[in-house]
Amino acid sequence: GALVSSLSAGSTAAIQEQGVAVSRASAGVLSAIQDADAGLGTVLDVDASLGALTSAVRTYAGPQAARRAAAVCLSHALQARARFAAKRPLIGHTVAASTSLGVLCQRLYGGAALTAKAEILRINRLATPYNVPAGTALLIPDPAKLIAS
C-alpha cells in the first residue's frame, strides 16, 4: 500500500489521492484481520475492508508501475484473507432445543464463549439472543477448530 502511495508522488493531486486511498484501504485490511484475530471483529469485517481495497484498486489511475503495485497489494490482501478464513472456518449449526445464545456458546466454546457469542451475533444478527428457538439454523465458528488452534 505504501509503495503505491510513493509511486503516485509527482502525479496529479487526484492520482495522489487515489494512491493514498489504496494505501489506507490496504492498512484497513490488515487492521481488520488483526481485530478479527483478536476476537474484536469477524471475517465479515475483513471482507468489508477487502471490498474497500478492491474498489480503490479498480478505480486507481496512477502510473503503470503504481497500478501494478496496487494489484500486488490486493493479491497479498486476498491471500491474507484466505489464510485467516482457513484458521477460523464457519460451520452450520441447527439449534436442537430452545435455548439462549449464551448457554449455547458456553456449551460449545467453554472459556471462549463470550468471544464466540459476539461473533455469532454479528454473523447471524439474531433478534432475540436470549431465546433462540429449536430448529434455528446458525452460522458459527467451528468449535473443534477453535480448540485446536
- Note the pLDDT tens digit of each residue in 4-15: 666 666 678 888
> Cβ(101)–Cβ(117) under 8 Å?
yes
pLDDT tens figures, 32-56? 988 887 778 888 888 999 999 999 9
DSSP 8-state assignment for residue 111:
G
Residues in the chain: 149
> Cβ(77)–Cβ(52) under 8 Å?
no
Taking the C-alpha atoms of residue 45 and residue 32, their distance in angstroms, rounded to an integer, is 6
Largest Cα–Cα separation, the chain: 64
3-state secondary structure 52-84: HHHHHHHHCCCCHHHHHHHHHHHHHHHHHHHHH
Taking the C-alpha atoms of residue 28 and residue 46, their distance in angstroms, rounded to an integer, is 9
> Cβ(83)–Cβ(76) under 8 Å?
no
- The answer on pLDDT for 19 being more than 50 is yes
pLDDT tens figures, 57-84? 999 888 888 888 889 889 888 888 887 7
pTM over 0.75: no
Residue 87's Cβ-side half-sphere holds a number of Cα atoms within 13 Å equal to: 15
- The answer on pLDDT for 147 being more than 50 is no
Question: CA dist 85 to 6, 46, 52, 94, 104, Å?
Answer: 31, 10, 18, 22, 23
Proportion of the chain above pLDDT 70, given as a percent: 89
